[in-house]
Every structure is written in C-alpha cells, then in structure tokens.
Amino acid sequence: MNYFSSDFILGILGGGQLGKMLLYETRKLDIYTHVLDPSNEAPCKIACNKFFKGDLLDFDTVYKFGKNVDILTIEIENVNIEALEKLEDEGVQVYPPTKALRTIQNKATQKLFYTDHNIPTAPFSRFAYKSEIEDSIANGGLQFPFVWKAAQFGYDGQGVKVVRSVKDLDDLPNGECIAEDMIPFKNELAVIVARNLNGDVVTYPVVEMEFHPEANQVEYVICPARIDEAVAKKATEIALKVSNEMKHVGLLAVEMFQTKEDKILVNEVAPRPHNSGHHTIESSYTNQFEQHIRAILNLPLGNTESKVAGIMVNLVGAEGHTGDVVYENIEDILKLNGVTPHVYGKKQTRPFRKMGHVTIVNKDIDTARKIAQRVKETIKVISK
C-alpha cells in the first residue's frame, strides 16, 4: 500500500497531546489522517486532515469513524473495544490489535496476563466490588497498606490509591478493582518496545522515573536510567518478554519497579506513545512518535539510541489554580541550555492536569538533571 498518498487514511482515536505529537510525524511523512475526539478544543483539531467530534466509548461513533480509514490506532486506551473488534473482523487494520488492547484495558486482566505468562509482577487480588475488599480485610485476607487500582478508566493518577486504613476506602468508587501488594522499590523504570507487523522489534534505553509524592504523576523521566547495566539488561529482557507475549503492533511502554533486591516487577503497560518517551523527540535518533508510525505502517523500525542524555519534566497545573492557563516564567526557562518546552494547547488548567512538558538535553546527564531542577522550580502553570 502507498502510505504516502491521499488514497491512504490513518485514523487516530483520541485527539489529545499524544495525538498532537503523533501528527507532527504524519505531517512530516505527509500521511493523511482522521482524528476522533469528544472535544472541540482537542489539541489535534488542527493539524489532522479531518477532525470528527464524537464519543470514543460509543460503539456506533467509533465503528463509523473506523470504517473510513485503512489503519486505525489510538492515543488513549479508553475506547470502545467492541467497535474495534468488529472493524478488525471486517478488515480494518487496528493497532494495537484488539486482543492486546482488551488485555491491557482492564488492569485485572492485565495482571492475570502477567501471572499466566510467568512475567514477574507484584502479588495482587482481584475484586468485583469494593465491598469484597472490606470482607477480605475483615477476614484477614488483605493487609494494610495495599495499592487499590480501578480495573478500568484510570488516568492522570486517578484510579490508583494507597490504602492504609478502612477509612481510605471511603471515597473510592464501587467498581471492579485490584488490591496490589505495596512494593518498596528503589526505582521506577520504563522501557518502550516497538514492534511492526513483520515482527521486527526494537527497544529504547531504560528510563528512570521520579514521581510526585502526592499526585502520583511522573515528575522527571531520566534517560538513560542511572542504574547498573545488569539491572538495565534485566529490565529490557522483561519488557521484551511482555512485548513478545502480547504480540502488540506499534509501541508498548512497559513500566516496571526495581525492588530493593534488584528484582524487576512489571507494573503496567500502555500500547501507544507514552509519557516516558517524550524526551525521545529531542534526545533519540528516532522519536517514539515516528517509531509508532513506522511500526503500525509496517515500515522498517528506526534507531532507538540516544544522541544525548534527555530529561523530561511534566508541566502540570499548580494546586489552587483552575481556569484560563498561563505559563509563568516560560521565558526564563528558554534561557537555560538545551531546554525545549512543549505546550499542549489545553485552554483550561486545573490542579495536576497535564498541560505540557519540558525536555532538557545535554551531553552530560548530571548537568541535564541540574537544569531540569531549575526548570521545575522556575516555570509554573497557573490560571490568569
């Protein structure tokens, strides 16, 4: 198929920041795109060839959208999977394949997948309702503290909570969930794996993530991770094993814990470009968005090595600020060496909302880390 012609249409479900960055690459290669998103203010609305406003969870909307495209991909997992399955049956190429997406969409199913395939992961229990958790605590089957995770539809740190007492359960929704052992870990790591239909597979260097202690959002992504080579090798091997077992097409971002004993446990995966790979735009030979396009179009995969070290700082809405967004001191961070802000174009800020990110690249990772700290201390995402 000739992807570089308007006879070919790539459909993207979701028009947020990931889609926006994906569209830089489709434009670079002149690939014709349709985007579906519920918001008229979606960052993707400009830059795609045709924008469709609609509900990503509605069967008819997703099905109709998908019938008009040749290849369909996602920038968000929360989409109507029944529609995708029907589209796949009817010959639309859907990447990630719906089988992988179904496994990933539900965190309980995802965890069972790991245990079924001998992939190391933190011990957990699955519950259909919150009330079952309370019973399990009462019976001594579940000990505090544990990590509660909603089985479906968590985003931006919602859907995950550390539970230290029965009282912590009060605000949680009563749906399907898991309770996971809390793992004391040294580091959170991630590896992005790319796979095309031919079965070619490449991995990006292991990155290290530092989380905001309260918001449960990544504060810094550091590439390469400052860990032993043996640990990096193990993390890469486990990410590859997940990729091989899932038989995804496109990117798979594999998030892992490095325990105090240097064991690697898989936390969760995302079958699409991921926050842990944003630094690749500036630091890698092939950025993750171009790589995703290469993979889903079954093109040769690109070099995943880094030109220079890269650190990514998330720009999230400051606490106490809701309304029209202002990026305070953005001009000051532009003075710093190797600093590139990415503003997603969301008009309204609210506490902890992902509004953008800043990449810091440098030949020396320690220098990059110091500049990243200054970036974090300088720029503020506030309301007018």
Binding residues for ATP: 107, 149, 180-183, 188, 267-268
Going by the DSSP 8-state scheme, the letter that residue 145 receives in this structure is: S
User: CB 84 → a second copy: shortest distance, Å?
Assistant: 26
Tokens 């004391």 appear where? 184
* Residue 12 structure tokens: 């993207």
Going by the DSSP 8-state scheme, the letter that residue 321 receives in this structure is: -
Amino acid code (one letter) for 296: I
Residue 330 makes contact with a second copy by CB under 8 A: yes
Q: Restricting to residues 269-308, which ones interact with a second copy according to CB under 8 A?
A: 285-286, 290, 294, 299-300, 302-303, 307-308
Q: Which is nearer to a second copy, 152 or 322 (CB)?
A: 322
Lay out the site mask for a second copy across 34-73 (x = CB under 8 A, - = otherwise): ------------xxxx------------------------
Residue 343 makes contact with a second copy by CB under 8 A: yes
Q: Which is nearer to a second copy, 260 or 307 (CB)?
A: 307
Q: Restricting to residues 302-321, which ones interact with a second copy according to CB under 8 A?
A: 302-303, 307-308
Lay out the site mask for a second copy across 101-140 (x = CB under 8 A, - = otherwise): ----------------------------------------
Work out which of 147, 345, 367, 373 binds a second copy, going by CB under 8 A.
Answer: 345
Q: Are 81 and 61 in contact, with CB atoms under 8 Å apart?
A: no
Residue 334 makes contact with a second copy by CB under 8 A: yes
Residue 327 makes contact with a second copy by CB under 8 A: yes
Residue 29 makes contact with a second copy by CB under 8 A: yes
Q: Which is nearer to a second copy, 129 or 285 (CB)?
A: 285
Enclosing H/E stretch for 148: strand 146-150
Number of Cα atoms under 13 Å in the Cβ half of residue 297? 24
Q: Which one of the spans 142-150, 175-183, 314-322, 339-347 is the region binding a second copy (CB under 8 A)? A: 339-347
Residue 167 makes contact with a second copy by CB under 8 A: no
Angle among Cα 104, 38, 83 to the nearest 5 degrees reads 45
Enclosing H/E stretch for 380: strand 380-383
Cα of first residue to Cα of last residue in the chain, in angstroms, is 49
> Pseudo-torsion of CA 46, 276, 382, 213, nearest 10°?
160
Tell me the C-alpha distance between 274 and 74, whole Å.
12
At residue 54, φ and ψ (nearest 5 deg) are 180, 165
